[in-house]
């Protein structure tokens, strides 16, 4: 088993293909162990700071439970109750938190903030979502694909929608796993070029392929996994109406799913805006695995915390 002891996890590019496989193997084992009602508390006596500058349900609940079930104490801070929200500098707040906690998990707006905290902190820092990356969701999604299709390498995964933090996460995660990654976004909403380049660099080593499309049908063609995300993420509410026109052709409906491979699964990190990026007939279909995906946040994060703090 490859340990990640003491390491930061700011994006999926922070781990190697071998380390990714190790996290997923650990998550599979922990999920099976939990189903057998076996308990283990390898992080007993440790504390993890969980900072939520952006609202959260799945991330907060899954991280709190992951800490508790591993024996660690979750210290949750949200809204205006302290960390980074009252004018105290990132440096000073981080230096205080590292005296109390063995790790810092933060969900915030800017990737640059997470990177600054990691530079200051002497304890591991985990990115629980920023504007550029959502690596913990990526681990859960790869775990879900592996669970349903029995493999990752060679699987064709299509993401349809905004070239946002989720698109970046699938580019890097798919490249690490040796997948065929297809990203379809409207003109003007493509992923960041440096993230695409990073994914292509990883793909050159793993045998993965990276495709970018502006036609959703071409993007989904033959895909074994079809994924989408909200068209206006948190913090982009003011852009919602303006985005509707551009994203309308990228709605995942039964007509678009018909271009995917036989037996394809549908995924969405939630929350879903039903009727916008996905219709009820798709998200409620037997081939939709969105709630397995949500559950797997817990198992993937337990594995990650075990390997970083164990």
Active site residues: 107, 134, 137, 229, 269, 297
Q: Assign 91 to helix, strand or coil.
A: helix
Contact 27, 296 (CB under 8 A): yes
Of 95, 73, 83, 57, give the one whose Cα is nearest residue 305: 73
Contact 189, 214 (CB under 8 A): no
| CA–CA distance, 268 with 144 (Å, rounded to integer) | 11
Neighbours of 242 (CB within 10 A): 10
- Would you state the structure tokens that stand for residue 216, as one six-digit string? 């959703």
Q: How far is CA 251 from CA 160, 164, 185, 227, 248, in A?
A: 8, 16, 11, 11, 6
Rounding to the nearest 10 degrees, give the CA dihedral for residues 299, 302, 304, 308.
Answer: -170
In the numeric block, the tokens 């990640």 are attached to 4
Distance between CA atoms of residues 270 and 291, nearest Å: 9
Could you tell me which residues come within 8 angstroms of residue 84 by beta carbon, excluding any fewer than 6 positions away? 51, 53, 90, 93, 108, 113
Q: How far apart are CA 158 and CA 168, in angstroms?
A: 13
Query: What is the Cα–Cα distance from 81 to 53, expressed in whole angstroms?
Result: 10
């Amino acid at each position: 088993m490859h340990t990640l002891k003491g390491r930061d996890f700011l994006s999926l590019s922070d781990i190697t293909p071998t380390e990714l496989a190790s996290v997923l193997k650990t998550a599979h084992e922990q999920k099976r162990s939990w189903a057998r009602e076996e308990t283990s508390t390898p992080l007993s006596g440790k504390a993890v700071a969980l900072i939520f500058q952006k609202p959260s349900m799945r991330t907060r609940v899954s991280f709190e439970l992951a800490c508790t079930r591993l024996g660690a104490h979750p210290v949750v801070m949200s809204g205006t109750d302290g960390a980074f929200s009252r004018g105290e500098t990132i440096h000073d707040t981080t230096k205080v938190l590292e005296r109390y906690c063995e790790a810092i998990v933060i969900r915030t707006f800017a990737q640059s903030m997470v990177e600054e905290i990691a530079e200051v902190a002497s304890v591991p820092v985990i990115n629980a979502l920023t504007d550029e990356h959502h690596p913990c969701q990526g681990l859960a999604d790869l775990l879900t694909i592996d669970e349903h299709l029995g493999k990752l390498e060679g699987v064709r995964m299509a993401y349809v929608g905004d070239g946002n933090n989720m698109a970046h996460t699938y580019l890097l995660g798919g490249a690490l796993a040796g997948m065929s990654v297809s990203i379809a976004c409207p003109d003007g909403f493509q992923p960041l070029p440096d993230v695409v380049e990073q994914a292509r660099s990883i793909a050159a080593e793993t045998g993965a392929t990276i495709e970018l499309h502006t036609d959703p049908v071409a993007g989904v063609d033959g895909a074994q996994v079809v994924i989408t995300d909200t068209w206006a993420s948190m913090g982009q509410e003011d852009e919602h109406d303006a985005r509707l026109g551009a994203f309308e052709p990228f709605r995942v409906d039964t007509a678009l799913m018909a271009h995917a491979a036989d037996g394809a699964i549908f995924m969405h990190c939630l929350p879903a805006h039903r009727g916008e990026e996905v219709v009820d007939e798709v998200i409620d279909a037997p081939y939709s695995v969105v709630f397995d995906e949500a559950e797997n946040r817990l198992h993937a994060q337990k594995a990650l915390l075990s390997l970083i703090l164990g």
